[in-house]
Amino acid sequence: MLTAAFLGLVSAVMAIPAPAPVAEPTIPAAIVVRVPEPTAAPDLIERNIIDDVETYVEGIVSDVASSISSLVNSGILDFHGFPTGTAVEKTLGISDDDLDAQPTQVLNIPPYANWTDAGWSVRVHGNVYKLPNVSQDKIDDLANVFLIDTEVDELSDSGKAQARNLTRSIFVVQQDDESVTVDFVNNFQVADGSGVVSAKGGSQKIKLPYNTTEEGDFDTFVTLRNTSDSGGYLTPGNETSRVQAINLYAEGTNNNGNSTAYLVPTEGITIISDIDDILRVTKIYEPKEGLLNTFARAFTPWRNMPDIYANWSTSLPETHFHYLTTTPEQGTRNYMEFIYDTYPLGSFDTRPLNFSDVSATLAIRRFLLDKVFQTFPNRRFVLVADTSNSDVMKAYPALYKDYPGQVQCIFLRNTSATDEGDRFPYNTEGFKDIPQERYMFFKVPDDLRNLDIANGHCYNSSIKQNVTFDYQGLPFGLSDDDNAASGGVAPRLGTVAVGVVVGLLALLV
Ligand SMILES: *[C@@H]1O[C@H](CO)[C@@H](O)[C@H](O)[C@H]1NC(C)=O
Ligand SMILES: *[C@@H]1O[C@H](CO)[C@@H](O)[C@H](O)[C@H]1NC(C)=O
Ligand SMILES: *[C@@H]1O[C@H](CO)[C@@H](O)[C@H](O)[C@H]1NC(C)=O
Ligand SMILES: *[C@@H]1O[C@H](CO)[C@@H](O)[C@H](O)[C@H]1NC(C)=O
Ligand SMILES: *[C@@H]1O[C@H](CO)[C@@H](O)[C@H](O)[C@H]1NC(C)=O
Ligand SMILES: *[C@@H]1O[C@H](CO)[C@@H](O)[C@H](O)[C@H]1NC(C)=O
Ligand SMILES: *[C@@H]1O[C@H](CO)[C@@H](O)[C@H](O)[C@H]1NC(C)=O
Ligand SMILES: *[C@@H]1O[C@H](CO)[C@@H](O)[C@H](O)[C@H]1NC(C)=O
Ligand SMILES: *[C@@H]1O[C@H](CO)[C@@H](O)[C@H](O)[C@H]1NC(C)=O
Ligand SMILES: *[C@@H]1O[C@H](CO)[C@@H](O)[C@H](O)[C@H]1NC(C)=O
Ligand SMILES: *[C@@H]1O[C@H](CO)[C@@H](O)[C@H](O)[C@H]1NC(C)=O
Ligand SMILES: *[C@@H]1O[C@H](CO)[C@@H](O)[C@H](O)[C@H]1NC(C)=O
């Protein structure tokens, strides 16, 4: 029943047709047909190809229940159908009274701060929520929806714990119109090998100027006074090249509203990194695997990527790391725990809850990226992600053009080069006119070794590039030049098919 209610809820949001059975991508007859007779109806041929491409893309997601195929696009939790607020209460059958008895919790997402005429300005953001008291049986029913071909009962103990944890994190009840007060305390412990220093002053209490939104979110800049602790002070952002860290605690929580703010100097290099399929093995492009890797298996680093980041953190000691993923806010704690155990410390962005309809979902990455760029107009950025995110493929090269001189390097893992399971098409058009020196499509983490990033040498000349500035990785060889050469019709069909694939991918978000 519960499961049915949840499915009903999500399918109301997602109007995805039931996927067709997996069709191995065979070369459709239409594409090898020579130039058709003048009398042949082109519509028919186009229709064939559209059918085949539709079947192809649907095939990719067909091993996942249609109701959750929306998880697929750019983050396995990239799902605008997670219930919020009263929808959660209804799904779980809990009352306001039950909820009142539970403590208020605050997800305090590690912020960045910029240096302004008024002092350090910190972007405090996160969410206020309550964790309803739900029985394990109910949670298991809900978790089973996300597990394909298995169930909670069949998982190892650690798998069970993870599935239950993430499911409980999704079914929280966000609290609107709450006032949030944070205590800044300069008790940050510097980790070995980290270039980040502990702030010497700045302890203070700040009440945020706005209450939480309808979805329980808060997101606002606050200015730190230059208070002194035992004679120390905050260092101005134009007088240091080091990132200063200061802890902040949300009041009235059971100690899990803690966070660390990173005070980032006016000038320097910021590495903005996506997480799924670049820092951890997710396999978003194989939805069933993607779900299991998120709900049922420990988060695992992608190859030796942690070595590369550790090295950047020590060999470029003044670097600021910012982790920007479009995974929904509900998964933030799990992503943070993995990142801080495995990669250098840094600020964080996940998807705010008000970005919920389809068009907003497509816009969220660019929105968050613009916010970072506008906050640090004098810093240079290294952008890292993989080719399986259509929003990355659009946003990263666009930023190079929209913020001249600010994008130092773009590094994209070519996911299909090491994982033939990735059959998602991607578009490299945005890279036209960007000098090769500034970007690289790479295969394995070692390709990133020994680059002179500080001086903008971002290309390892031993890594062969195959950038066509067009759609790549399309099925049936549609992106091959060979087809273009075979007659006037194929290119046009290719364009139609591309439209269909892209349309379907947009639907899948
Ligand atoms: C640093 O920034 C402050 C505030 O904007 C400004 O008053 C000061 O002149 C700057 N100092 C330097 C060395 O640029
Ligand atoms: C949660 O509900 C169970 C069963 O109703 C009850 O025994 C337990 O005390 C509750 N826990 C909390 C923290 O409210
Ligand atoms: C889930 O795990 C994360 C990371 O360990 C933890 O911070 C969080 O509190 C847990 N959430 C729930 C609902 O148990
Ligand atoms: C903000 O919330 C507090 C309670 O958390 C309430 O007393 C106050 O009136 C609210 N402020 C505004 C501006 O709505
Ligand atoms: C804080 O005050 C101290 C002492 O006046 C000064 O040296 C320091 O530059 C100030 N820092 C900021 C962030 O204004
Ligand atoms: C919050 O505190 C816990 C326990 O000390 C720590 O493991 C975690 O990293 C802290 N989180 C942040 C974001 O600082
Ligand atoms: C979401 O809220 C933020 C502020 O928290 C606001 O800047 C943004 O425009 C909102 N986005 C949408 C799509 O409503
Ligand atoms: C600091 O960040 C805010 C918010 O993004 C931005 O409006 C402002 O211009 C930035 N200030 C400076 C001096 O860069
Ligand atoms: C990515 O790798 C695949 C498989 O090796 C290759 O066909 C494709 O051209 C590569 N893409 C880019 C942009 O180099
Ligand atoms: C380039 O890539 C190769 C192969 O992964 C690696 O051995 C080498 O260190 C990289 N860097 C340079 C500058 O060649
Ligand atoms: C770390 O950086 C140094 C200097 O740039 C380089 O020699 C070394 O190969 C790098 N190691 C890794 C693991 O990338
Ligand atoms: C280069 O990319 C095109 C378009 O995706 C593809 O058809 C071709 O096989 C690729 N070549 C290599 C050598 O990977």
CB within 8 Å of 19: residues ≥ 6 apart = 58, 59, 61, 62, 64, 66, 69
d(CA 317, CA 192): 12
| 61 falls within a domain | yes
Strand 258-263 and strand 244-250: pairing? antiparallel
- Ligand 1 nearest-atom number relative to CA 239: 13
pLDDT value at 344 more than 90: yes
**Atom 8 of ligand 3, residue of closest alpha carbon:** 333
More confident residue, 381 or 355: 381
135 versus 508: the higher-pLDDT residue is 135
Residue 244 lies in a domain: no
Ligand 12 pocket member 473 (CB < 6 A): yes
CA torsion, points 10, 16, 18, 21, in degrees to nearest 10?
-120
Ligand 8 within 6 A of CB of 116:
yes
Instruction: Identify the nearest ligand to the CA of 316 by its number.
Output: 11
pLDDT range class, residue 328, cuts 50, 70, 90: confident
pLDDT band at 436; cut points 50, 70, 90: very high
Ligand 2 site, residue 374, Cβ cutoff 6 A: no
Asked if residue 428 belongs to a domain, the reply is no
Cβ of 259 closer than 6 Å to ligand 6, yes or no, is yes
Instruction: Give 475-486 pLDDT, tens digit per residue.
Output: 666 655 444 333
Residue 122 CA to residue 222 CA, distance in Å, equals 5
Domain assignment present for 235 = no
The two tokens of residue 124 are 């405090």
Using the predicted structure, report yes or no on whether residue 191 has a pLDDT greater than 70: yes
Q: From the CB of residue 118, how many other CB atoms can be counted at a distance below 10 Å?
A: 9
Cα(232) to ligand 5 centroid in Å equals 9
Residue 47 binned pLDDT confidence (cut-offs 50, 70, 90): very low
Note whether residue 100 is domain-resident: no
Question: pLDDT class for 81, splitting at 50, 70, 90?
Answer: low
Q: What is the overall mean pLDDT for the chain?
A: 80
Nearest residue by C-alpha to atom 10 in ligand 2: 133
The pLDDT tens digits for 17-36 are 223 333 333 222 222 222 22
pLDDT of residue 253: 85
Domain containing residue 30: 2-71
Q: What's the pLDDT score for residue 480?
A: 55
More confident residue, 413 or 44: 413
User: What pLDDT does 365 receive?
Assistant: 94
Given the CA of residue 211, which atom of ligand 4 is nearest to it? 1
Residue 109's pLDDT band (cuts 50, 70, 90): very high
Question: pLDDT per residue over 274-327, tens digit each?
Answer: 999 999 999 988 878 888 999 999 999 999 999 999 999 999 879 999 999 988
Q: What is the pLDDT of residue 508?
A: 32
Q: How far apart are CA 287 and CA 282, in angstroms?
A: 9
In tens, the pLDDT along 206-236 reads: 999 999 999 999 999 999 999 998 899 999 9
Pocket test for ligand 11, best of 304, 312, 315, 452 (most atoms within 8 A of CB): 315
Classify each residue of 344-354 as buried b or exposed e, where b means 16 or more C-beta atoms within 10 Å of its C-beta: bbbbbbbbbbe
Positive or negative, the CA dihedral 90, 94, 99, 102 is negative
Higher pLDDT, 463 or 493: 463
Q: Answer yes or no: is 85 within a domain.
A: no
Could you tell me the pTM of the whole model? 0.86
Q: Tell me the pLDDT band of 460, cut-offs 50, 70 and 90.
A: very high
Q: pLDDT tens-digit profile of 112-170?
A: 999 999 999 999 999 999 999 999 999 999 898 888 889 999 999 999 999 999 999 98
Confidence (pLDDT) at 302: 98
Site to substitute for ligand 5 among 115, 233, 238, most atoms within 8 A of C-beta: 233
pLDDT, residue 479, reads 58
Residue with CA at minimum distance from ligand 12 atom 5: 472
Res 469 pLDDT > 80: yes
Which has the higher per-residue pLDDT, 193 or 397? 397
- With CA atoms as reference, report the closest residue to 375 among 385, 367, 365, 384: 367
Measure 101 CA to ligand 2 centroid, in angstroms. Answer: 10
Residue of 354, 359, 362 to test ligand 7 pocket, by largest number of atoms within 8 Å of CB:
354
Number of domains in the chain: 1
